[in-house]
Structure 1
């Protein structure tokens, strides 16, 4: 049966599956499908029978698509695998051979058999409506320029966004609360924009300012403050999974010497209001931009490189970068596609590995570029000369070892073929990390040959076809049916190559491997001779070389080219990249090599960290030869499937954006910031709203996929996104618009009418009360105690125990041993991108604020500051307590205490004094320090109204 006819079979019968037996519940069949069958279809079939390419008129990506059929008959009979041509095809009986490139593994065929025998179960919901759902999903639709609703009655609407909210509330009859008082409003605004409490003088000035634009002046002042970048930079560093070290690593420095340079770039970029599209562009591809010669922009690439190193696992490092870009910037959980197509969203493994190739084609240089402008290259300093010497020593060592390994891959092909054949019976893990003898064949090279030969399993391959046919039929130690040279023509093999391999009529796998070894050594000798410019003349040829000439004499130029390509072509086992990272160490598991590498690497790192060393960018650069990635079947890099060209997936687009040159990071960045991208700007607007209003417009800020709830205020989200774009993607302009709205300026006080209609405040009839983050609370304590330094930037410093005197954003973040104090207060672990913080209330939080010596000391310092301010105009004894209570409230809350608060303070003092005022000054101050501590820990301090 022609294959095109064969392919349709599945279509006509997949939905006709008989009921499953009681012994195999439907849920178990679906688990088998999701675990074993779907990854197999994704890895081997959907490249030709999926949404982007449909051969034979057949798609295999949904039950409905399969049922629709293709160009021929039925592929399977549900419940009867032995009668199904699908099984006949994958078992490669007769003329049926699918997949065409290479046969499936026996366990994969068994999984398909079980699936068919159990009724070919397919999950409900996988009904071919994926494209329709994608087209209809709100987040994948183009951003709409929504018309501003007409003001239909009395309203406090100050901005168009207020009209959108009014328009949504009106049908509900939902009343709004009034505006916050000026003191509460300035405190809210100051914390939201700077992360610190307002100065009392600023509050007093604002309360006295009767100009109509008094509030707008405060907004402009705070947006221009140098503290703005520190506050909003902290928000961004959560997304960037910022930390000052790599986590668990082998054979490399654990600390990031220059992570702080990226942190400072973020702070400065936000301070100067770098447009959001440029903000992203530089973080993804600053090295590819030619419009700015300043090397300082290279620090932006820390967004990609500041993540963990995951015990040097390259695949996990790339996965982390894919997640940071897709979930962090576009709200898509593409990392779910590492092992299988996304269960819910229109994202495939091919999309994931299209991006994988982009990041695999980039590398972190051993010596990152300096952030200083380059000096005179003809007059290097003594430091630069020593660094170059150490770097060359390491590079020379690596190049020599890699060259030796590549030679082993060319000269010992027979031994590697036998080792791969032996692995059919023994797992590769048994030998991969052995401490190899210098004369042993290399375990990593065995793995390279194994993966490569798995890609070349088609028995019609002109070079490897004879090996696969013979090896499949014979064992290494057994006599078997010899290869017939006459098979070459009908098998698609090259006649000259087959003749060379069968000169000695090999009858065992070992004999055939030896024939391959001789043939490839002859090819290697021939290439060496050409490279040596015929230094050895024909008259001086050795007997072995003469033998080589005899062996190769029957080969055509085309056949010689085919053999050379298997030794020297792109992607073959013997072409080994010289990588100065874990890629090198994984090639050499012997301790001697790793020890020599470690010694040389540490010498370079020591020079890079010397006092005279310049600050460097944690850059990611393009490899000289970019590579496309294979799909890893079930996420296993040792089981490569179809090759996916480097490209950029765009939700809702018919095709991915192709990569023109280089790694593709520039195309990725340009694709994300293109106005046609439906997600990037929406996601940013949603997060800016979340930081100012407490809750996001889209309730899942890290997931805008099909499982996300549509925002109640969808028209408002699109309106604000258009406003962001019309405003040159200025984040400060967007913030100014949001905080100038009536919605932002409302009181956080509740009302019975509002709670009865909208208890979750989805229509923003009041402002949300927000709890200070750990960073804001710590910085507040330092500021109120008079200890907070204005020094900005520079290397990270210890800032937790003890607190020190700098803002928390400058504290050292330890990914390897994440501070329990940070975790206790919901600071996200930097092991992954964090787009939203959880908020917990647990006893250890209160116990820390109540009992920690650092907090008690800051309470003492705050009390002393208030006392010094009071001494500037000392009160009489009779009014001392009242004035000091006022001074504390003004310092801590930036306002006068209410009468109930005054009364509570009086009662506190009375209780602490036990009816008798202390007689000595130390005892007196201890009472006031305890009151100060109580006020610092009150809701009036910890929460922003």
Structure 2
């Protein structure tokens, strides 16, 4: 006798001794693992009262989930012989048993398996019976959250087994289970909205809830047997019949466990069931396949790359994909091919009816096998040819080339540019004039125009190194981070909102999200090394054990805020109707896609459903990257979009502060009541004096009339109240004047105590962050991207093309706290300068720096480094710049400085007749024979207007500037409630960032719609831009302020000169001065005819000139 047989017999013997199985039975007791409720009528004994009523049915699971009924008229009764000598608990249509706090069900979208032996009345008039009910409850309010519980019963009088979500979807079986016959029903929920219903061993339904989904259990779950919990008055939903045994598991039973438990209950209650032995692959299925299929699909012959020798091979499948879908024979390709006669091709060797039935039974039972199933997807199918793509090469750093045109070489960047130009017989353009250059470098480095004083200082500095000193000062400016941080926020798709933002009037900002924006600005200002910058954003929560910290260090808090990078994906799960598995999966997928595009410049969406059409991105790679983020965005333990906020102090400190503040508030309330009592006493005294002054004949009647509620006053009382109300009214001023010295001292003391209590209160802020709270869930390749069709499991990792084909790179690292370390491992891999992955990321970053400085990336498609993207115009320069970036310690400022110090950057942008040949040879200026002319981004148009008007508030950081949507659809700054008068005029990076409904001024100038992210803005030139600059309220207001600023200059000529210098950074020509003077004269005359005095007319005319300057190309473009 082998050890397995011995153990099986020992288990049976122990079960018999425990009374779980009748002697002689070959079926063991129900499995104990995960059993959280076991009610057995055969062991009631002392649970029944003398009259047979059941006040308590004891739970045998050991979890203490006893069901009780304290109300006598609601108690079911015990029957020793409910059918064929079997005991049961009888529910006569107004009975129920409850477990107010049901233990064992974990919170969230958790599986369970319910088995109940019952006999339901076929003649009951109740049309919506509930056999068992599991419902979440808010203990504080007593309310039942919608879609946070499930029930089993029937509906609409159909008597067919049904499972339903509280206030949500339902699923129904096929046959009537309420038929006056003892019946075994099973309701199985496996998570992610998937459920199954079984009646007497037959599976009658296996589907998913579709629409109003189950949102998961909350911490407090209540159970009711025979009715909905808490609905004793809902007569139509009471169960009528008998219940003999109830088993509830916090997991789904395996097919074998289900069969064995079914056999146990069948024998115990003499049920008529259809449980069939579960086929095993090795014993039952492999011989069938060997006889009919493996000549072509096994061993040395594997047609269509399909091997049917192991379950793993069948799940992996061949050219057409997996051939079995566990649990679903009708979805399995092998069944379809056999039943349609397409396979096996030999007509003389078809499967018999019994063989086909066994194959279907085996698949329906989840294809059990003794083998250790290997479901890991193969991601090694990257060809050598695919690895030859330029972006997938290690850096090839060459020495800057020698060139002939050395007169225009400022640094090594110019050598690469000039060398490429000389290959095409082209050359760099002459340098731009200094007034053009200072305006260019100001906008490119800090996003603001230079002031006249700053222009004068630069123009007057004739010494060597003047331009470099200017560049260094701008790189050190606190506004550098605002300009370059705005670019990064575009890349990551930053918004202050949560959800789709599909309704202009509904504005839903995430509390504290703006602190990520400030983190980014500060990171650029301090020139935080980019490798650290990326690690903090991907896995800042995994760098420190912040959950155990007694206090957050600045570094801890900064790293938590940095993870806001991962909260850019559209997430509508704050709405119950959209907190569904498909939306949850979508959020995880969109997050990984955003990471891929923002850091790797790859478009990943294609690989969600199939291998990427162009790039070396197998579908398995898509889900490997998703697996990195799965622990933080766990679809089984979902945290809704509004649930990622936390205090910027440890939880214990927050609790302490909350307690201190609550105590202070309570004391303040008591003190306020004391002061109110003093003033009420004084008021009564004043009132009594006024009442005494009334004539005796009306005094009592008037007092009664005024004390009587308005709606209850008689006509006479209404007249009296109207006549004497004012005379008897006591004002706050009268009370104050009537206070005695003692009262005043008491009130003053109370005020001091209130102030003391207010000063004792402490505060904390709110941040948005990402962290992990549960073990990592498995991640599967989803067939056609459908979460309901999981395929092979994948392990977390980066794209195979970016990993060395000869080494296995670790996908986890030791993380602080109890986090999985998956994101930290990815972050380390992406910032490893010695690996292709790190060099690839550095290339992407440097290319985008170049794009911001020159208006076009060395790789023009800065969002796509794949095969379908553009090839680099200067590949050697890109690799050299990347190596310089890495050599500087991943710092942005040194490499940006090299770019703006080059002659390529300082050259003229305006086309001249001498450039005609160059324009013909390179019309897109890819070779950079001149500087690119660039339209200001939307934020810098608004900021430049504010700078010109003199109203720009240059303060850094802080909460967003709110916006409002007017009835006409215009989105404007919401001025009410701003902390300071100038808050509305802060830089545009601080304006509330929405997905779709931007500030109109910004939208008109191409503020991107943030459906995903934006690596490169696409400027337009449309008539609405000119109309906005002529008629928008903001522009009109700022033009008026600009005119007031110009009014300080005495003469018209001085005013025109000042306007040009402030708005355009240069003096006007004589012709421009003449034109502007004529404009001012005409406009002033027009305004004088509108009954304005001369001074007002001149001022309005100046405002018109300011509008004209705002509308010039020179104002809107960087030359």
TM-score using structure 1 length: 0.62
CA distance in structure 2 between the partners assigned to 1:785 and 1:736 by the alignment: 30
1:201 pairs with 2:446: no
User: Could you say which residue in structure 1 is the equivalent of 2:1055?
Assistant: 884
Closer, same or farther in 2 for the Cα pair 1:757/1:764, shift >3 Å? same
Structure 1 position 623, deviation (Å): 2.8
Please say if residues 948 and 1042 of structure 2, whose CA atoms lie closer than 8 Å, have aligned partners that are also in contact: yes
Structure 1 position 665, deviation (Å): 0.9
1:171 pairs with 2:448: no
Closer, same or farther in 2 for the Cα pair 1:908/1:317, shift >3 Å? same
Identify the match of residue 1029 of structure 2 among 849, 863, 866: 849
CA distance in structure 2 between the partners assigned to 1:806 and 1:268 by the alignment: 17
Identify the match of residue 872 of structure 2 among 691, 702, 711: 711
Q: What pairs with 1:326-725 in structure 2 (closer than 5 Å)? A: 326-363=596-633, 366=643, 368-372=645-649, 381-382=658-659, 613-653=763-803, 654=805, 657-659=810-812, 662=820, 664-675=822-833, 676=835, 677=837, 678-725=839-886
Identify the match of residue 394 of structure 2 among 134, 142, 145: 142
CA distance in structure 1 between the partners assigned to 2:951 and 2:776 by the alignment: 51
Stretch of structure 1 that moved more, 899-908 or 723-732: 899-908
User: Could you say which residue in structure 1 is the equivalent of 2:1008?
Assistant: 828
CA distance in structure 2 between the partners assigned to 1:652 and 1:90 by the alignment: 47
User: Could you say which residue in structure 2 is the equivalent of 1:305?
Assistant: 567
For each residue in 1:730-789, what CA deviation from the matched residue of structure 2 results, as whole angstroms up to 9, or x when unmatched? 011111111011101111022212212211111111101111111001111111111111
Please say if residues 259 and 306 of structure 1, whose CA atoms lie closer than 8 Å, have aligned partners that are also in contact: no
CA distance in structure 2 between the partners assigned to 1:8 and 1:912 by the alignment: 91
Closer, same or farther in 2 for the Cα pair 1:94/1:726, shift >3 Å? farther
For each residue in 1:656-696, what CA deviation from the matched residue of structure 2 results, as whole angstroms up to 9, or x when unmatched? 75335605111111121122114211111111111111111
Closer, same or farther in 2 for the Cα pair 1:191/1:45, shift >3 Å? farther
Closer, same or farther in 2 for the Cα pair 1:704/1:258, shift >3 Å? same
For each residue in 1:423-472, what CA deviation from the matched residue of structure 2 results, as whole angstroms up to 9, or x when unmatched? xxxxxxxxxxxxxxxxxxxxxxxxxxxxxxxxxxxxxxxxxxxxxxxxxx
CA distance in structure 2 between the partners assigned to 1:134 and 1:89 by the alignment: 43
User: Could you say which residue in structure 2 is the equivalent of 1:518?
Assistant: none
CA distance in structure 2 between the partners assigned to 1:702 and 1:859 by the alignment: 38
User: Could you say which residue in structure 2 is the equivalent of 1:210?
Assistant: 462
CA distance in structure 1 between the partners assigned to 2:437 and 2:358 by the alignment: 72
Please say if residues 798 and 811 of structure 1, whose CA atoms lie closer than 8 Å, have aligned partners that are also in contact: yes
User: Could you say which residue in structure 2 is the equivalent of 1:736?
Assistant: 897
User: Could you say which residue in structure 1 is the equivalent of 2:937?
Assistant: 773
Structure 1 position 216, deviation (Å): 0.6
Please say if residues 712 and 762 of structure 1, whose CA atoms lie closer than 8 Å, have aligned partners that are also in contact: yes
Closer, same or farther in 2 for the Cα pair 1:154/1:625, shift >3 Å? closer
Structure 1 position 6, deviation (Å): 2.9
Structure 1 position 707, deviation (Å): 1.0
CA distance in structure 1 between the partners assigned to 2:923 and 2:401 by the alignment: 25
User: Could you say which residue in structure 1 is the equivalent of 2:587?
Assistant: 317
CA distance in structure 2 between the partners assigned to 1:211 and 1:89 by the alignment: 95
CA distance in structure 2 between the partners assigned to 1:174 and 1:44 by the alignment: 62
Closer, same or farther in 2 for the Cα pair 1:942/1:367, shift >3 Å? closer
SS in 1 for 2:563: helix
CA distance in structure 2 between the partners assigned to 1:793 and 1:281 by the alignment: 23
Structure 1 position 90, deviation (Å): 13
Structure 1 position 908, deviation (Å): 2.5
> What is the aligned residue count?
642
Identify the match of residue 223 of structure 1 among 470, 475, 497: 475
CA distance in structure 2 between the partners assigned to 1:91 and 1:317 by the alignment: 47
CA distance in structure 1 between the partners assigned to 2:361 and 2:940 by the alignment: 61
User: Could you say which residue in structure 2 is the equivalent of 1:928?
Assistant: 1102
Please say if residues 778 and 808 of structure 1, whose CA atoms lie closer than 8 Å, have aligned partners that are also in contact: yes
User: Could you say which residue in structure 1 is the equivalent of 2:1069?
Assistant: 898
Structure 1 position 890, deviation (Å): 1.0
Structure 1 position 904, deviation (Å): 3.0
Structure 1 position 724, deviation (Å): 0.4
Please say if residues 629 and 645 of structure 1, whose CA atoms lie closer than 8 Å, have aligned partners that are also in contact: yes
Structure 1 position 618, deviation (Å): 1.2
Closer, same or farther in 2 for the Cα pair 1:652/1:242, shift >3 Å? closer
For each residue in 1:329-352, what CA deviation from the matched residue of structure 2 results, as whole angstroms up to 9, or x when unmatched? 111122322222211111122112
Structure 1 vs Structure 2 CA RMSD: 4.0
Segments of 5+ residues of structure 1 without an aligned counterpart are 16-36, 38-42, 50-57, 62-75, 106-127, 388-610, 875-879
CA distance in structure 1 between the partners assigned to 2:780 and 2:353 by the alignment: 23
Closer, same or farther in 2 for the Cα pair 1:93/1:723, shift >3 Å? farther
Structure 1 position 224, deviation (Å): 0.8
Closer, same or farther in 2 for the Cα pair 1:691/1:916, shift >3 Å? closer
For each residue in 1:256-286, what CA deviation from the matched residue of structure 2 results, as whole angstroms up to 9, or x when unmatched? 1011111111111111000111111000101
Structure 1 position 171, deviation (Å): 1.8
Please say if residues 245 and 816 of structure 1, whose CA atoms lie closer than 8 Å, have aligned partners that are also in contact: no
Closer, same or farther in 2 for the Cα pair 1:865/1:643, shift >3 Å? same
CA distance in structure 1 between the partners assigned to 2:660 and 2:425 by the alignment: 73
Closer, same or farther in 2 for the Cα pair 1:254/1:889, shift >3 Å? closer
Please say if residues 89 and 98 of structure 1, whose CA atoms lie closer than 8 Å, have aligned partners that are also in contact: no
1:281 pairs with 2:281: no
Please say if residues 689 and 696 of structure 1, whose CA atoms lie closer than 8 Å, have aligned partners that are also in contact: yes
User: Could you say which residue in structure 1 is the equivalent of 2:411?
Assistant: 159
Structure 1 position 103, deviation (Å): 8.1
CA distance in structure 1 between the partners assigned to 2:847 and 2:351 by the alignment: 48
Please say if residues 134 and 346 of structure 1, whose CA atoms lie closer than 8 Å, have aligned partners that are also in contact: yes
Structure 1 position 901, deviation (Å): 2.4
Closer, same or farther in 2 for the Cα pair 1:932/1:645, shift >3 Å? same
CA distance in structure 1 between the partners assigned to 2:353 and 2:593 by the alignment: 39
SS in 1 for 2:780: strand
Compare CA radii of gyration and give the structure with the larger one. Answer: 2
Higher relative contact order (CA 8 A, sep 6+): 1
Closer, same or farther in 2 for the Cα pair 1:719/1:100, shift >3 Å? farther
CA distance in structure 2 between the partners assigned to 1:236 and 1:788 by the alignment: 23
CA distance in structure 2 between the partners assigned to 1:764 and 1:93 by the alignment: 75
Closer, same or farther in 2 for the Cα pair 1:295/1:14, shift >3 Å? closer
1:268 pairs with 2:552: no
Stretch of structure 1 that moved more, 794-803 or 934-943: 794-803
SS in 1 for 2:1006: coil
For each residue in 1:522-566, what CA deviation from the matched residue of structure 2 results, as whole angstroms up to 9, or x when unmatched? xxxxxxxxxxxxxxxxxxxxxxxxxxxxxxxxxxxxxxxxxxxxx
User: Could you say which residue in structure 1 is the equivalent of 2:511?
Assistant: 257
For each residue in 1:486-534, what CA deviation from the matched residue of structure 2 results, as whole angstroms up to 9, or x when unmatched? xxxxxxxxxxxxxxxxxxxxxxxxxxxxxxxxxxxxxxxxxxxxxxxxx
Name the structure with the higher strand share.
Answer: 2
For each residue in 1:64-107, what CA deviation from the matched residue of structure 2 results, as whole angstroms up to 9, or x when unmatched? xxxxxxxxxxxx9xx99556599x999999799999995899xx
1:793 pairs with 2:957: yes
Please say if residues 949 and 1039 of structure 2, whose CA atoms lie closer than 8 Å, have aligned partners that are also in contact: yes
Structure 1 position 917, deviation (Å): 8.9
Stretch of structure 1 that moved more, 758-767 or 621-630: 621-630
Stretch of structure 1 that moved more, 847-856 or 897-906: 897-906
Please say if residues 775 and 808 of structure 1, whose CA atoms lie closer than 8 Å, have aligned partners that are also in contact: yes
Please say if residues 796 and 812 of structure 1, whose CA atoms lie closer than 8 Å, have aligned partners that are also in contact: yes
Closer, same or farther in 2 for the Cα pair 1:780/1:153, shift >3 Å? closer
Please say if residues 306 and 618 of structure 1, whose CA atoms lie closer than 8 Å, have aligned partners that are also in contact: no
CA distance in structure 2 between the partners assigned to 1:325 and 1:756 by the alignment: 39
Closer, same or farther in 2 for the Cα pair 1:893/1:817, shift >3 Å? closer
Please say if residues 449 and 944 of structure 2, whose CA atoms lie closer than 8 Å, have aligned partners that are also in contact: yes
Structure 1 position 60, deviation (Å): 7.6
CA distance in structure 2 between the partners assigned to 1:384 and 1:298 by the alignment: 25
